[in-house]
Amino acid sequence: MTLIVDSVFDLDALLSADEIAWRRKARAFATERILPIIEDDFENKHFRRELIPELAEAGFLGMHITGHGCAGAGPVAYGLVCNELEAADSGWRTFVSVQGSLAMSAIAKHGSEEQKTAWLPRMAAGEVIGCFALTEPAGGSDPAAMTTRAVRDGDDWVIDGAKRWIGLASVAHIAIVWAKDDEGVVRGFIVPTESAGFAATPIDGKLSMRASIQCDVRLEGVRVPESARLPEAKGLSAPFACLNEARYGIVWGAMGAARSCLEAAIERSRGREVFGAPIGSRQLIQAKLADMFVEYEKGMLTALHLGRLKEKGSITPVQISVGKLNSVREALEIAHTSRAILAGDGITDAFPVMRHAANLEAVRTYEGTDEIHQLVIGRELTGMGAFA
Phi-psi region of 199 (alpha: psi -120 to 50; beta: other; left: phi over 0): beta
Choose which of 8, 28, 144, 343 interacts with ligand TGC (CB under 6 A).
144
CA 188 to chain centre: 20
Choose which of 167, 253, 307, 346 interacts with ligand TGC (CB under 6 A).
167
Choose which of 75, 140, 256, 307 interacts with ligand TGC (CB under 6 A).
140
CA nearest neighbour of 367 among 235, 200, 244, 216: 244
Going by their DSSP bridges, the two strands 174-180 and 130-133 should be labelled as: parallel
Choose which of 42, 60, 165, 296 interacts with ligand TGC (CB under 6 A).
165
Considering the rule CB under 6 A, would residue 136 count as an interface residue with ligand TGC?
A: no
Quick check: helix, strand or coil at residue 203? coil
Minimum CB separation of residue 137 from ligand TGC in Å reads 12
Considering the rule CB under 6 A, would residue 323 count as an interface residue with ligand TGC?
A: no
CA nearest neighbour of 71 among 112, 33, 114, 19: 19
For the chain, the residue count is 388
Considering the rule CB under 6 A, would residue 236 count as an interface residue with ligand TGC?
A: yes
- Three-state SS string over 45-74 comes to CCCCHHHHHHHHHCCCCCCCCEECCEECCC
Considering the rule CB under 6 A, would residue 244 count as an interface residue with ligand TGC?
A: yes
Residues 84, 347, 94, 258, CA torsion sign:
positive
Considering the rule CB under 6 A, would residue 235 count as an interface residue with ligand TGC?
A: yes
Minimum CB separation of residue 381 from ligand TGC in Å reads 14
Choose which of 166, 177, 332, 334 interacts with ligand TGC (CB under 6 A).
166
Considering the rule CB under 6 A, would residue 41 count as an interface residue with ligand TGC?
A: no
Quick check: helix, strand or coil at residue 13? helix
Considering the rule CB under 6 A, would residue 317 count as an interface residue with ligand TGC?
A: yes
C-alpha–C-alpha distance, residues 310 and 315, integer Å: 5
Minimum CB separation of residue 153 from ligand TGC in Å reads 26
C-alpha–C-alpha distance, residues 98 and 107, integer Å: 12
- Here's the x/- map for ligand TGC, 72-111, by CB under 6 A: it reads as ----------------------x---x---x---------
C-alpha–C-alpha distance, residues 372 and 29, integer Å: 33
Strands (DSSP E) along 203-356, which ranges?
214-225, 273-274, 277-278
Considering the rule CB under 6 A, would residue 376 count as an interface residue with ligand TGC?
A: yes
Catalytic residue among 39, 367, 371, 380: 367
Residue 367 annotated to the active site = yes
Chain residues in the site for ligand TGC (CB under 6 A) = 94, 98, 102, 131-132, 134-135, 140-144, 165-167, 214, 235-237, 240-241, 243-244, 317, 366-368, 372, 376, 385, 387
Residues annotated catalytic, as ranges: 367
